Amino acid sequence: MKDEKAPAPRSGRRTFLMGLLTGAGVVTALGARRTTAAARPSASEPRPADPAAPILYRRTEEAERYYRTLYE
């Protein structure tokens, strides 16, 4: 049998810093995920009308006639 030595576990300043950076990354990722989920409205909630948003479509008689002819 070979006498193989297991690698010594890392200890010291380098391991502490790696753990600290990993923990900070996890906290940042979870915090960012929670704020974006809270800011996004669910699909069932009606979206509030934004008065500053441009009107992209206005229902007119001409538009009604056009769409009626499409489906006839």
Handedness of CA 45, 50, 55, 59 (dihedral sign): positive
State pLDDT tens for residues 14-58: 888 999 999 998 888 888 765 555 566 666 665 666 777 787 878
Is the pTM higher than 0.95? The answer reads: no
> Long-range pairs for 58-63 at CB < 8 Å and ≥24 separation?
none
pLDDT at 58: 83
DSSP secondary structure code for residue 29 in this structure:
H
Give dist(CA 59, CA 30) in Å, integer.
Answer: 44
Which pLDDT tens digit goes with each residue over 56-68?
A: 878 899 988 988 8
1 pLDDT above the threshold of 60: no
Chain centre to alpha carbon of residue 54? 26
Average pLDDT, the chain: 76
Backbone φ, ψ for residue 60 (5° rounding): -120, 170
